Amino acid sequence: MKFIVAAPELLEHLTRVSGAIVSKPVLPILDNFLFDIKGGNLTISTTDLETSMSTSLKVESKDDILVAIPSKLLIETVKMLNDQPITFTVNEETYGIELSTSYGRYKLAGQSGADFPKVPEIDSESSFAMPSNVLLRCISKTIFATGNDDLRLNLTGVFVELSPESVNFVATDANRLVKLTRTDIKPGLEHNFILPKKALNLLKSSLTNDVTPIQIDFNKSNVFFTTDSLKLSCRLIDEKYPDYKAVIPQDNNNIVGINRIDFLETVKRVANFSNKTTHQIRIKITGHELAASAEDIELANEANEKRTCEYDGEDIEIGFNSKFLLELLSNVDHDSVKLKLSTPNRAGLLLPQENEADEEVVMLVMPMMLNNY
């Protein structure tokens, strides 16, 4: 059985789905690409049993072929074949594979495709669609705030909250929280689920920054993302998400307006002198002046900076983890930000001065106890 495909096109599709392969799979065959050719259409699939990806391309073939091919050896070989057309010859009995090009011949030991775990087919109870660039933005602006603690599995993914007229993407690790709302996406139903981080990172690297529609189908246990050239399915995190709305303070009478880049650079410089364990930075606001300071008592390091700002509220001094504050500031697009505070022991809200059209972003960072409180 034979088929012919151009190396650059094959490499593009192999790279697209290779992220679902793990370094130490629970089954040896999961370290393979599944090649399924029917009617001259090649579907390449990968899975780790939790997340599955597949992509399709046209090839020259008179045969229907189903074979599993070692992923690392194949992708490294195709990378070095430049613009060559590659002829694949598959032995029907041994599943041995020979690659032929003008450079030479290369033999790989394949396996029966019938032994490859079945990639989940779309089994939808509900569905909605989003433009690729909007989904990409929703992922990029929230995934960084997810947790890494497997003992709190519900915080390791992004919570997607659907309503008839909007969709919320929420992420938190219990120290900071990001909620992004899109009012231009109207799912037409009420539902919610938690998407795992691995699937979101794979989507983030695969989605195009354009208006290509992404079909999203889901049921109680799985979600399916489909485009013309890519399919990704993943098992949902079967946990209850915390009531994130309860931790977002509503009475924030102290409101700071400041240039985002100026604030970001100040925090970066001052944080360099903070304690390397706590990363604590102190923010003091009086009048139209914001003072940032940090110290490491053990090493006798200390830094202080002052910035002008717009301020409406009472004098306040509050502590934050500088790493979290820097990450939040780095993920705001607008030139100016608002910092909304209530008391030194309650969370602070960081908002862009103006939201993008059809979008609302709320960022929250928990305070740190200062030694003078």
- pLDDT level of residue 372 (50, 70, 90 thresholds): low
CA gap 135, 204 in Å, rounded: 9
Residue 158 CB partners (closer than 8 Å, separation 6+): 139, 142, 143, 146, 169, 170, 171, 194, 195, 197, 200
pLDDT higher than 80, residue 50: yes
pLDDT higher than 60, residue 149: yes
CA gap 230, 206 in Å, rounded: 8
pLDDT higher than 50, residue 134: yes
The answer to whether 182 and 359 have CB atoms below 8 angstroms apart is yes
Q: What pLDDT was estimated at residue 219? A: 94
Domains of the chain: 2-115 (3.10.150.10), 126-245 (3.10.150.10), 248-368 (3.10.150.10)
pLDDT higher than 70, residue 272: yes
Q: With pLDDT > 90 as the criterion, what percentage of the chain qualifies? A: 90
Give the total residue count for the chain: 373
Token pair in block for residue 46: 């990968």
pLDDT higher than 80, residue 371: no
pTM of the model: 0.91
The answer to whether 344 and 318 have CB atoms below 8 angstroms apart is yes
210-229 mean pLDDT: 94
CA gap 15, 206 in Å, rounded: 10
Q: What pLDDT was estimated at residue 373? A: 39
Question: pLDDT, tens digit, for every residue of 300-317?
Answer: 999 999 999 999 999 999
118-144 mean pLDDT: 93
CA gap 81, 6 in Å, rounded: 10
φ/ψ region of 306 (left if φ > 0, alpha if ψ in -120 to 50, else beta) reads beta
